[in-house]
């Protein structure tokens, strides 16, 4: 088997695997009655943008769609399509292994270009009719953001080698801000109709990013890392399903002898009651388990962005009410799930104090989530008011 046949066979297997995962949560009823009407509705809305621009686009600065394209360029990862057995069989055929990595990297770039093209296609009515960009300017920006994508792929490949989650998050955030700040200069150059320098800069970024990416992928010593990367990308949809459904979520295995938070297990509440004891135990379990905490803030983050982006007030209210109901159900299911794994809580699940503590604990977590959503929406409203949006 040559490298091309091997690559396409694994690519097709990956597509089948993702389709089976998708079908596990979306049967034909969901596809016909939810997904298909949603696609038709989005198509009608997009067509209306070409006929007449929506009211909410007025006074929105170009920085907003520019930032959206930068975020779109940031998402994405290098795929290698390597499996665990390659350490035994393909490691003896270095030429076949190297060509497989090249095809996998080219496939990653290809899909990133399609994603960026979809982003530009969604913004095309606004770019042409409201921001009055020419086709030449749009093409220049498209080339630049595709080159920026290849640079982001290289940076994220090296950043993921850092063991500390805090350092990794800080470096990623810092590099993203630097790229956003430097990209504003690119737009100013394009606005002054200097297209050739942007093409040159984009070409240099693209060539250097591809060169150093392939150089990093060629190292045989990083084979375990490449297999781990592919396994994470392959199971990303499964992990998202586990995160969205706490009743099937797998508990995180802690390798540390002592937790990062509440190391000495000191008391949170001065008043010691059975109800406060259950609440304290629930809070400590959530803070010590990154998957629970990440799921909590992911729901808050998605709701916050939805309320900021959606202009009509009545839609904001509907999203806010829906978020409250969804967060309540999620926390109740999370509380019940935590009780199944902790022997102390499981022993007293039928007591009145247990149900009283669940009600208080869930309401406190909901109040905190609603407060965070309201605070960031107020900050966004105040900032947009200051800039005249």
Q: Bigger pLDDT: 148 or 240? A: 148
pLDDT bucket at 386, cuts 50 / 70 / 90: low
- Does a structural domain hold residue 362? yes
The domain tally of the chain equals: 2
Same domain, 47 and 196: yes
Do residue 250 and residue 176 come from a single domain?
Answer: no
Cα separations in angstroms, 108 against 76, 84, 103, 231, 309: 8, 20, 9, 15, 29
pLDDT tens sequence across 226-274: 888 888 888 877 766 665 554 555 455 545 555 555 555 566 666 777 7
CA distance linking residue 37 with residue 41, whole number of Å? 6
Higher-confidence position of 38 and 106: 106
Pick from 119-123, 144-148, 151-155, 238-242: least confident: 238-242
- Does residue 14 fall inside a structural domain? no
pLDDT value for 75: 85
Q: What's the chain's average pLDDT?
A: 81
As to burial, measured by CB atoms within 10 angstroms (0-12 exposed, 13-18 middle, 19+ buried), residue 45 is exposed
Shared domain check, 294 and 255: yes
User: Which of 138-142, 239-243, 284-288, 303-307 shows the lowest mean pLDDT across its residues?
Assistant: 239-243
Domain limits for position 368: 242-386
Q: At what angle do helices 274-288 and 352-386 cross, to 10 degrees?
A: 50
Question: 10 Å Cβ neighbour count for 228?
Answer: 15
Q: 116 exposed, middle or buried (CB, 10 Å; 0-12, 13-18, 19+)?
A: buried
Residue 209 lies in a domain: yes
Predicted confidence at residue 182, as pLDDT, reads: 77
Together in a domain, 34 and 150: yes
- Is it the case that residue 144 has pLDDT exceeding 80? yes
- Tell whether 195 and 62 lie within a shared domain: yes
275 with 378, same domain: the answer is yes
Looking at the fold, whether 218 and 251 belong to one and the same domain comes out as no
pLDDT 10s digits, 70-88: 888 888 888 888 888 888 8
């Amino acid at each position: 088997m040559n490298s091309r046949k091997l690559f396409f066979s694994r690519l097709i297997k990956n597509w089948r695997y993702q389709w089976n995962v998708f079908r596990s949560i979306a049967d034909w009823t969901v596809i016909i009655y939810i997904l298909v009407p949603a696609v038709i509705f989005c198509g009608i809305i997009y067509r209306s943008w070409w006929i007449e621009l929506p009211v909410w686009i007025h006074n929105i600065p170009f920085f907003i769609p520019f930032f959206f394209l930068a975020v779109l360029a940031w998402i994405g990862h290098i795929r290698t399509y390597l499996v665990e057995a390659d350490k035994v069989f393909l490691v003896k055929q270095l030429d076949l292994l190297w060509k497989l990595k090249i095809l996998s990297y080219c496939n990653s770039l290809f899909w990133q270009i399609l994603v960026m093209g979809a982003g530009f296609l969604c913004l095309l009515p606004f770019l042409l009719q409201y921001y009055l960009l020419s086709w030449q300017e749009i093409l220049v920006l498209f080339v630049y953001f595709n080159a920026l994508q290849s640079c982001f792929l290289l940076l994220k490949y090296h950043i993921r080698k850092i063991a500390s989650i805090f350092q990794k998050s800080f470096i990623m955030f810092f590099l993203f801000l630097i790229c956003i700040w430097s990209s504003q200069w690119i737009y100013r150059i394009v606005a002054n109709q200097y297209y050739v320098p942007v093409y040159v800069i984009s070409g240099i970024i693209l060539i250097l990013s591809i060169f150093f990416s392939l150089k990093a992928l060629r190292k045989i010593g990083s084979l375990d890392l490449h297999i781990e990367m592919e396994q994470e990308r392959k199971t990303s949809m499964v992990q998202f399903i586990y995160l969205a459904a706490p009743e099937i979520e797998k508990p995180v295995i802690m390798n540390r002898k002592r937790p990062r938070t509440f190391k000495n297990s000191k008391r949170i509440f001065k008043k010691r009651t059975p109800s406060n004891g259950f609440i304290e135990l629930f809070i400590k379990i959530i803070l010590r388990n990154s998957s629970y905490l990440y799921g909590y803030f992911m729901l808050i983050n998605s709701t916050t962005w939805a309320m900021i982006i959606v202009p009509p007030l009545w839609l904001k209210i509907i999203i806010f009410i829906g978020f409250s109901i969804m967060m309540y159900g999620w926390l109740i299911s999370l509380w019940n799930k935590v009780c199944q794994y902790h022997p102390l809580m499981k022993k007293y699940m039928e007591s009145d104090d247990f149900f009283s503590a669940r009600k208080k604990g869930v309401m406190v977590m909901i109040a905190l989530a609603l407060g965070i959503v309201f605070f960031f929406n107020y900050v966004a409203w105040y900032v947009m008011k200051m800039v005249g949006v």
